[in-house]
Chain A
Amino acid sequence: MNKTANNPIILEMKGIGKSFPGVIALDGVNLSIREGEVHALLGENGAGKSTLIKILAGAYPKDQGEIIFQGQSVDIKSPYHAQQLGISTIYQEFNLARHLTVPENIFLGHLPQKGLLVDWDTAKARSQEILTRLGVSLQLDVPCDTLSVAEQQLVEIAKALTRETRVLIMDEPSAVLGDKDMEKLFQIVRSLTARGISIIYISHRLSEVFEIADRVTVFKDGRLVGSKDVSDVTMDSLVKMMVGRDLQDIYPKKHAKIGKVLLDIKGLNRPKVLHNISLQVRAGEIVGLAGMRGAGRTELLRAIFGADSYEGTMTLDGKPFNPTSPKDAIDQKVALVTEDRKAEGLLLQQSVKFNTTISGLKEFCTRWIINRQKEVDHVQQMVKKLRIKTPGINNLVVGMSGGNQQKVIIARFLGARVLLLDEPTRGIDVGSKNEIYQVMVDLAEQGLAVLMVSSELPEVLGMSDRVLVMHEGHIAKELSRAEASEESIMKYATGSHLES
């Protein structure tokens, strides 16, 4: 039974519609939020969740429909107006002034004043009070960019609490957090709802919904598929609502024929980050690299890729492999798909074609001149093979969905022999995830070696032939597919094996 079922409705949206040139982003959406509930919004990228919360946050005007907030019909004119009403939003990209201190950020725009001067003592005291209420402690006098991502998120939440917030919208708050921090986040969310604040919680991780939400609403293609009490749904039924497909199909893992050792690493070190790492990846094998954020997984991939300096010896297919730059690694057919697609992967102002061939341009060149026909043929083949959705190969990648962007980057490196994947499905909807998994399986079958960093345990378990667990720069444990489970991975990832 849902404990918030009888709470009054604080926010109601009726027949909300919004279209952009060429796209209907929202079509006749009816949604109601109860006081003190956690209401999860689910849906693939482009399903309409972001548009809806931007309308609520005052970032976009709505085209049609009515919003009733605390019994009054309101027309939210601007982000400022939304905050005045009591609707606060925490976006995935934080809105912090990076060089200002914690109290300055918490009270940004309405610092308490004594006459003409800022009353720093009050600002600090009230910041401390709010943070204490959230059950956390932060160093106040440091610039915000020295805080961890989780701490910055706390500052954002504290910011919302300085105003009379009734509805707090959180856009994928867990996407940037490790597991420990997530537990803390859930505690804070619960304490907020206990005080009658309603939370609209957007996520891609289904498991979170069951942990934290009271109700869940699923969007698809700009329409609302349904709103349900969490107690009435299962993982399977939610996935079906989202993609019309069953859960067991998400991980299409097949066991490819495992061949010879392709990548062999012995005693790889990077001061303070990586300690004596040795590992092997064989042809046809997908090796999962699990661990907490900051355990050194990304750093390991970057070192193998030649993006950062390292000490140690590596061989590739039996030959010495010591890349000093990404170019070196790519020339020897070792590729890295980075975690942050926008900052480290895509060339956002360029086309699908440009992004697909940039790393392997030489193969389309005679001397330095690009053979256009050859390039176009290749890219069209890739678009077809990976089912990249784009109006044309000359369209820019900037407007594409996360899943399609990720496919473009994977297409860039399809010629590789060793594929290093860092959180390959982060921020990608379930449908596209499945397609990317399918590509990984196909590649493994063709004899590629895949080393995959992932923070999503179901993904690690669902896709890996073997799992390596990292803890504080060491490889803490190697688990076979049979040995690997959420519990066994967490045991080594958290370092609890060292304590016992």
Chain B
Amino acid sequence: MTNQNKQMKDVMSQIMAIPAIGPLMALLLASIFFATQTDRFLSGSNLSLVVQQVMVVGTLAIGQTLIILTSGIDLSCGMVMALSSIMMTSLAVDYGVNPFLAIIIGLVISALFGLLNGALVTMIRLPPFIVTLGTYSIAFAVIRIYTTQTITNLPDVMTFFGKTFTIGSTAITYGSVLMVILFLIAWFVLSSTAGGRYLYAVGDNPEAARLAGISTTRLLISVYVISAVLYGIAGLLLTARTGVGDPQAGQNSNLESITAVVLGGTSLFGGRGNIMGTLVGALIVGVFRNGLQLMGVESIYQVLITGILVIVAVSIDQLSHR
């Protein structure tokens, strides 16, 4: 009897040791709940839609996770995304630049913002919150100064990631696939490369990391630049998803991406968390939004529930590390 109990405990502790198990179980239970509530939820096309709906914020949240793991935070992500989207589409549509080149220029502009963030954080040692609050406004203003017009009639290249292919009867968006691939790459880099380890170390304790032989400045700047490039890619996905270049986009994306990161179990204090948890976190938000909508629940309850989810998720994180 006691032996059995012990075995049970061992199994339980093994299950609890799986990264992001908490968020994953929440996602699973939520899905089961919605499946019992509406028969439309579990259809392949609906699940595919949920993934498609989180592809933009999910991609942003990859970058956000990297930065939060270094115990930073990035409020500028949505604006960098919108800027990249506007630059790409505007160059291609208004100035006839080759769309591939336009996309690359958009990504480079994103990277420059990342470089600015990273340089201010490391060289002048400003808190990331302040730096990115500033660059949020700067990017916001740059967009408005550049254009207030929505850019339409995009070349096909730019909407490619919004197109779908079918497996069986389920239509899958190319952008969803790209997001999942980006998550897998980030997961591999974080868990299996020296750079990934260094990132966790810097987030855990920057001084100890430096004294352990890590070039913290170089690492942090790289993280901010890589994250910004991811925001640029999110901008491309946003463009593809909505089919336009939208100067109004991204104003809330910083909080949405942070929500996904937190729901995924990453600590806002840095050094602890799993990138796949962020994917699950983004999906939780998507599943609740979609499921509640299918049930006919007003959207304000989605906001309410997201708020509750965030607080519960952080509470669990706090309690489990007492």
Distance (Å) between the CB of A347 and the closest chain B CB? 4
Are A344 and B197 in contact (CB-based, < 8 A)? no
Taken together as a complex, chains A and B put the C-alpha atoms of A329 and B207 apart, in Å, by: 16
B192 lies within 8 A of chain A by Cβ: yes
What B residues does A327 contact at CB under 8 A? 213-215
Are A350 and B208 in contact (CB-based, < 8 A)? no
Are B200 and A326 in contact (CB-based, < 8 A)? no
- A346 with B208, Cβ < 8 A, contacts A326-B213, A358-B197, A358-B214 known: yes
A349 lies within 8 A of chain B by Cβ: yes
Are B194 and A362 in contact (CB-based, < 8 A)? yes
B210 lies within 8 A of chain A by Cβ: yes
Among the listed B207, B208, B209, B213, which residue makes an inter-chain contact with A331, where contact means beta carbons less than 8 Å apart?
A: B213
- A365 with B200, Cβ < 8 A, contacts A326-B210, A338-B211, A350-B271 known: no
Are B208 and A347 in contact (CB-based, < 8 A)? yes
What A residues does B214 contact at CB under 8 A? 327, 358
Distance (Å) between the CB of B217 and the closest chain A CB? 9
Are B205 and A307 in contact (CB-based, < 8 A)? no
What A residues does B195 contact at CB under 8 A? 368
Are A325 and B201 in contact (CB-based, < 8 A)? no
Taken together as a complex, chains A and B put the C-alpha atoms of A347 and B267 apart, in Å, by: 15
- A326 with B201, Cβ < 8 A, contacts A368-B194, A368-B195, A369-B193 known: no
A50 lies within 8 A of chain B by Cβ: no
Are B205 and A348 in contact (CB-based, < 8 A)? yes
Distance (Å) between the CB of B303 and the closest chain A CB? 32
Q: Could you tell me which residues of chain A, from 319 to 371, have a CB within 8 Å of some CB in chain B?
A: 325-327, 329-331, 336, 338, 343-350, 354, 358-359, 361-362, 365, 368-370
Distance (Å) between the CB of A388 and the closest chain B CB? 17
Are A348 and B204 in contact (CB-based, < 8 A)? yes
What B residues does A354 contact at CB under 8 A? 197, 200-201
Q: B interface, by DSSP: helix, strand, loop or mixed? A: helix
Among the listed B197, B208, B210, B267, which residue makes an inter-chain contact with A361, where contact means beta carbons less than 8 Å apart?
A: B197
What B residues does A307 contact at CB under 8 A? 210-211
A407 lies within 8 A of chain B by Cβ: no
Taken together as a complex, chains A and B put the C-alpha atoms of A362 and B214 apart, in Å, by: 11
What B residues does A305 contact at CB under 8 A? 211
What B residues does A345 contact at CB under 8 A? 208, 211
Are A370 and B193 in contact (CB-based, < 8 A)? yes
- A330 with B213, Cβ < 8 A, contacts A350-B201, A368-B195, A370-B194 known: yes
What A residues does B210 contact at CB under 8 A? 307, 325-326
Among the listed B193, B201, B204, which residue makes an inter-chain contact with A368, where contact means beta carbons less than 8 Å apart?
A: B193
Distance (Å) between the CB of A41 and the closest chain B CB? 26
* Chain B: interface residue total (CB-CB under 8 A): 22
Q: Could you tell me which residues of chain A, from 282 to 329, have a CB within 8 Å of some CB in chain B?
A: 305, 307, 325-327, 329
* Chain A: interface residue total (CB-CB under 8 A): 29
Taken together as a complex, chains A and B put the C-alpha atoms of A350 and B190 apart, in Å, by: 14
B123 lies within 8 A of chain A by Cβ: no
Among the listed A326, A349, A361, which residue makes an inter-chain contact with B272, where contact means beta carbons less than 8 Å apart?
A: A349
Distance (Å) between the CB of A379 and the closest chain B CB? 13
- A343 with B208, Cβ < 8 A, contacts A350-B200, A354-B197, A369-B192 known: yes
What A residues does B194 contact at CB under 8 A? 361-362, 365, 368, 370
Distance (Å) between the CB of A169 and the closest chain B CB? 24
Taken together as a complex, chains A and B put the C-alpha atoms of A343 and B201 apart, in Å, by: 13
Distance (Å) between the CB of A86 and the closest chain B CB? 30
Distance (Å) between the CB of A331 and the closest chain B CB? 7
A471 lies within 8 A of chain B by Cβ: no
CB nearest neighbor in B for A358: B212
Q: Which of B198, B200, B213 has the most CB of A within 10 A?
A: B213
Flag B72-112 by CB within 8 Å of A: 1 or 0 each: 00000000000000000000000000000000000000000
A412 lies within 8 A of chain B by Cβ: yes
CB nearest neighbor in B for A347: B204
CB nearest neighbor in B for A337: B211
Q: Could you tell me which residues of chain B, from 194 to 245, have a CB within 8 Å of some CB in chain A?
A: 194-195, 197-198, 200-201, 204-205, 207-215
What B residues does A347 contact at CB under 8 A? 200-201, 204-205, 208-209, 212, 271
Q: Could you tell me which residues of chain A, from 358 to 399, have a CB within 8 Å of some CB in chain B?
A: 358-359, 361-362, 365, 368-370, 372
Among the listed A325, A349, A362, A370, which residue makes an inter-chain contact with B192, where contact means beta carbons less than 8 Å apart?
A: A370
Would you list 15 pairs from A and B whose C-beta atoms are within 8 A, ordered by A residue? A326-B213, A343-B207, A344-B207, A346-B205, A347-B204, A347-B209, A348-B204, A348-B205, A349-B267, A358-B201, A358-B209, A362-B194, A368-B195, A370-B197, A412-B212
A-B contacts besides A358-B197, A370-B193, 7 pairs, CB < 8 Å: A329-B213, A330-B212, A350-B201, A350-B271, A358-B201, A365-B194, A372-B192
- Across the A-B interface, give the 4 residue pairs with the lowest CB-CB distance, nearest first: A330-B213, A347-B204, A361-B194, A327-B213
